[in-house]
A and B are shown apart, each in its own frame.
Chain A
Amino acid sequence: EIVLTQSPATLSLSPGERATLSCRASQSVSSYLAWYQQKPGQAPRLLIYDASNRATGIPARFSGSGSGTDFTLTISSLEPEDFAVYYCQQRSNWPPGTFGQGTKLEIK
């Protein structure tokens, strides 16, 4: 089973700053990696799929990059509504479609 490791576990930043979240796979997942955002008490929301494709309705400040084992989610300029938990998920080798353990993006 492919293991996804996200870093950092918690990221403390201020609105307007740039956020860089990392996801590393235990083996290559090609470009088959997605990013989800989850706010407290809400269901997750798809942000990015296949490493760099923004989902419908996702603002351009969200971007994804990477391939193989190393991936990055970048939020170019943080808005107040962006503070949440972010999960990566691989679909290269399923079942299962494993998720990372999450990165909490909190207001500094």
Chain B
Amino acid sequence: EVQLVESGGGLVQPGRSLRLSCAASGFTFDDYAMHWVRQAPGKGLEWVSGISWNSGSIGYADSVKGRFTISRDNAKNSLYLQMNSLRAEDTALYYCAKDMFPYITMIVVAWGQGTLVTVSS
């Protein structure tokens, strides 16, 4: 069974940094692209970033480009999101998600339960 467990969320002041992690199990991690998708409280879904199986292809939403960095460690079956210069509008539940293929297709076949990031002074 695919399991994606996010961690690292919390309350952070505007302008500060936070690093999210996602521990994957139940599948061959380095066979799939991965994503971060977020959902502000009471709002819809927003794709944040994606990374191919070998980190050769990476993409970001315009809203986070230059501030967030996605990475993965296939040896540790882990996905990361380094978030710098956080803003109030980054407040959301952040989901770790698995693509259908090794390269980024945006077809998200599995999701974690999310980790909540709150940006507030």
Contact = CB atoms under 8 A, between A and B. Distances in A.
A78 to B, nearest CB: 22
A29 B46 CA distance: 18
Contact of A96 (B62, B95, B107): B62
Contact of B45 (A44, A50, A55, A94): A44
Interface in A63-108: 87, 89, 91, 94-102
Contacts of A102: 44-45
Interface of B: 44-47, 50, 59-62, 95, 100, 104-109, 111-114
A96 B35 CA distance: 11
A14 to B, nearest CB: 26
10 contacts: A34-B107, A43-B95, A43-B114, A46-B109, A87-B45, A89-B106, A96-B46, A96-B59, A97-B47, A99-B47
Contacts, number: 63
Interface of A: 1, 32, 34, 36, 38, 43-46, 49-50, 55-56, 87, 89, 91, 94-102
A95 B47 contact: yes
Contacts of A32: 106
A99 B106 CA distance: 11
B45 A91 contact: no
